[in-house]
Chain A
Amino acid sequence: MASHAQLASHFFGDLLDSIIVDVASECHRISRLGLDRNLEEEEEELKLSAQARERVADPNNSGEANSKYVVDIFGQTHPPIASDIFECMNCHRPIMAGRFAPHLEKCMGKGRKARLKGTRSSTAAQNRHSRGSPVSTYSPYPNSTSTNQLSNGTSGVAGEEYSNGTFPEP
């Protein structure tokens, strides 16, 4: 009569065999029916990526990834803040490209919704907690700093919505 230990061991062996054959059978079928992925291509891609990472991490490399370029491929050079000047389509004042977004934000009234189909009611806007003064579109100081300093890279005030009911001409 087999002991408990022997029986347990026997059952375990059966279970293990069953699991192994499960996997083997599945793989066999996949392989025979041509369903296996193109493993060679995948491995090649992995190898190329690994090599690339090694090269980039190598301190002997000139740190190409982060180096500042002197000229671009067209032989041009560009200032850190874009210096082109063009006319703001909202207030028609000349604005420097690199400062256009912060200007436009104030110019448009900070996050204002300008859809033709109805705006938020002005009571709703007034009820919102507001930081800093509401900016009208006729501010004489387009580049003045508001009380909400939004320098490059820091998170600022979440967009608060005002509506003053006018729509900019495109």
Chain B
Amino acid sequence: MTTGNPSYTNPKPCKHLADYKLNHGLSGYKSLQKHLKSAPHGKTSVGKPSSTTPRCISCDGFQDIERAELYCCVCCDQVYDPDFDKAVMSKHIMGITGDKNGDESIGKRLVKRRRLGSGVVEELVDSKISKQLISMRDRRAKSCYPLGLRGLNNLGNTCFMNSVLQALLHAPPFRNYFLSGGHNHENCRKRSVDRLCLSCDIDVVFSAAFSGDRAPYSPAQFLYSWWQHSANLASYEQKDAHEFFISVLDGIHEKEVKSSNQNRENGDCQCIAHGVFSGLLRSDVTCMTCGFTSTTFDPCVDISLDLDTSNFPPKNTANKSIKPDANSSMSTLLGCLDLFTRQEKLGSDSKLYCQNCQERQDSAKQMSIKRLPLVLCLHIKRFEHSPVTKMSRKIDRYLQFPLSLDMTPYLSSSVVRNRFGNRIFAFESGESDISAEFEIFAAVTHAGTLESGHYVNFLRLRNQWYKCDDAWINEVDEGMVRASQCYMMFYVQKSLYQKANEDWSHLPISPRRNMFGQ
């Protein structure tokens, strides 16, 4: 498959169209532009074809008037031309915003920063870890289990914490940062007045997990520190794994901000939490009357998805057998992502103010991903709240998810382009060159009800799945993971996943040796 760049396959130009362009240049397109009409939702058509419009009779081509597409009578097929699409889009942009640059100006306003997180992490890995790996290889007896695989004791309803910790311990860029000394807790404690530092405590957990000791570890100190950070979540009750995840990232970020006096701008933040998990979401609100679109960008450390249940037949149509043709009634992760990036018409009771029309109008909103993180955390909203009974309940519906995930269709470039009919046109400028291909490495599952249940984490290391049920680590096959009910899924960029597998593939370990001096 091609790389994640959302580029077009340049279609082979129709010979007849090419000849026409050689003879007549782009004048035909330009005169056509005058007659182009754009609808607010993005589609273009040709209005009022008059005899003055060159119908390209000379080349036997003409246009599909309703859709502003070119059709070649000789090829008997619809044909595509970048110059034609450009003419269509230019007219569209000028028509809607009244501002000559339109979408291009949005492009220029984007922050064009490279992901510093990945740059820093890669350097650290290369210089320090490779030296350590070599020395480890020399000294240790062979063992076939991946480093860092270690059970975590349940300290009393703390499976929510254990399952997320396992995912963090094995998120390649996050792991590499801590293992290569990215946050040295001795130096940190010397430097800072505030003794509370979640990163230090995480560093300790990493040391313990990767020490080679296989007896289950009790993350008691970490629990203590986390409770001090998140006073409102500090209780013996069952807690939500997703809430915990967000609060840990927040804790890491806060300390980083305090110690380096940075501006609290999550989008450009260089703390390890944001460097690894932070992406950027784009939200487009379009006026359904004039087509004017206002765009905002918001950083995010994860994406919470609603289950795609809209295709389901109303009553029981006996979909008991799980045949491939029952796909339409099964929830899939791709379906949830489709739902997330679908253009949603906002109700008439929530009309938004349109700058162009200067009044409140019916609007539509569409989300897309402007910038993908290194590690993508997808959270499934498995709860629904009934306004009638005022109660929330858990949705146990099965969700199919892929092990290899291509996020290209959900990127802003793809979504925005699709909204305008997939014209050959540079819609997004300044997009980072992070690949859109991801591989899953951790899946947090939940069994039970909202109030009481149990979290289990499945880890995928070197393409082998391990079930991490608090202190118990067991090998399981892929099928069991596929069939389980996921609540949070952690995907990492494919290149980082492959690299992580290579790094550790020949690593022998001895249970008695501890390389971090703990």
Nearest neighbor of B417 in chain A, beta-carbon distance: A35
Cβ < 8 Å to B, chain A residues 84-124: 84, 86, 88-90, 97-105, 108, 110-116
Query: How many whole Å from B298's CB to the nearest CB in chain A?
Result: 26
Central interface residue in A22, A46, A47, A154, by most chain B CB within 10 Å: A46
Check if A153 sits within 8 Å of B66, measured CB to CB: no
A-B contact pairs, 6 of them (CB 8 A): A35-B8, A82-B153, A89-B220, A90-B224, A97-B220, A105-B234
A43 and B409 CA atoms in complex are apart in Å by 16
Contact with B along A15-54 (1 / 0, CB 8 A): 0001001100110111011110110011101111111111
CB contacts (< 8 Å) of B66 on chain A: these are 18, 21-22
B473 with A72: CB separation less than 8 A: yes
Q: Is A56 an interface position by the 8 A CB rule?
A: yes
Bound complex: CA of A158 vs CA of B231, how far in Å?
12
Q: Which of B324, B424, B453, B475 contacts A33 (CB 8 A)?
A: B424
**Residues of the B chain whose Cβ atoms lie less than 8 Å from the Cβ of A102:** 156, 236
A125 on the B face (CB < 8 A): no
Closest to B214 in A: A74
Q: Is the CB of B234 within 8 A of A48?
A: no
Q: State which residues 396-434 of B face A: CB under 8 Å.
A: 398, 400-404, 406, 408-409, 414, 421-422, 424
Number of interface residues of B (CB under 8 A): 79
A108-B227 contact in complex given A46-B332, A89-B221, C-beta closer than 8 Å: yes
Which of A22, A49, A78, A111 is within 8 Å of B231, CB to CB?
A: A111
The B463-504 residues at the A interface (CB cut-off 8 A) are: 466, 470-476, 478-484
Task: Determine whether the beta carbon of B466 is less than 8 Å from that of A29.
Answer: no
- A25-B474 contact, Cβ under 8 Å, with A101-B158, A111-B232: no
Count, chain A residues at interface, CB 8 A: 73
Q: Judging by beta carbons under 8 Å apart, are B480 and A64 in contact?
A: yes
Residue of B218, B224, B422 near A82 (CB, 8 A) is B218
Contact yes or no, B479 A52, CB < 8 A: yes
A154 touches B452 (CB 8 A): yes
Partner of A41, one of B1, B78, B448: B1
Chain B residues near A81: list those with CB within 8 A: 154
* CB pair B324 A156 closer than 8 Å: no
Shortest CB–CB separation between residue A143 and chain B, in angstroms?
Answer: 12
Contact string against B for A residues 129-160, beta-carbon threshold 8 Å, 1 for contact and 0 otherwise: 00000000000000000000010111111110
How far is B466's CA from A155's CA once the two chains are assembled, in angstroms?
Answer: 30
Enumerate the 7 nearest inter-chain pairs by beta-carbon distance, A residue then B residue, closest first. A34-B9, A101-B156, A113-B231, A52-B479, A153-B452, A82-B153, A52-B482
Q: Are A76 and B214 in contact (CB under 8 A)?
A: yes
B94 at the interface (CB under 8 A from A): no
CB distance from A66 to the nearest CB of B (A): 9
Q: Which residues of A contact B324 (CB under 8 A)?
A: 43, 46-47, 50
- B 69-84 contacts with A by CB, 8 A: 69, 78, 80
Are B235 and A25 interface neighbours, CB within 8 A?
Answer: no
CB–CB A21/B406 < 8 A: no
**How close is B213's CB to chain A, nearest CB, in angstroms?**
10
User: B324-346 toward A: CB 8 Å interface, digit per residue (1/0)?
Assistant: 10010000101000000000000
What is the chain A residue whose CB lies nearest that of B326? A50
Q: How far is the CB of B508 from chain A (nearest CB, A)?
A: 15
Q: A99-B156, A152-B156, A159-B232 are in contact. List 14 more A-B contacts (CB 8 A).
A: A32-B11, A33-B8, A37-B408, A41-B402, A42-B334, A48-B479, A52-B482, A64-B476, A76-B216, A82-B154, A82-B471, A88-B220, A98-B154, A150-B237
Other-chain residue from A32, A54, A65, A82 in contact with B155 (beta carbon distance below 8 A)? A82
Min CB distance, A11 to chain B, in Å?
15
Q: Which of A37, A52, A76, A102 has the most CB of B within 10 A?
A: A52
A105 to chain B: closest residue by CB: B236
The 8 A CB mask of B1-42 against A (1 = contact, 0 = none) is 100000011010000000000000000000000000000000
Contact B220 A100 (CB under 8 A): yes
- Flag if B8 contacts A34 (CB, 8 Å): yes
Q: Which of A21, A49, A69, A111 touches B400 (beta carbons < 8 Å)?
A: A49
Is B195 in the interface zone, CB < 8 Å from A? yes
- Residues from chain A with Cβ under 8 Å of B452 in the complex: 152-155
**B479 and A56 form a contact (CB under 8 A):** yes
Q: What separation, in Å, do the CA atoms of A43 and B400 have in the docked complex?
A: 11
Chain A minimum-CB-distance residue to B471: A78
CB neighbours (8 Å) of B64 from chain A are 21, 25
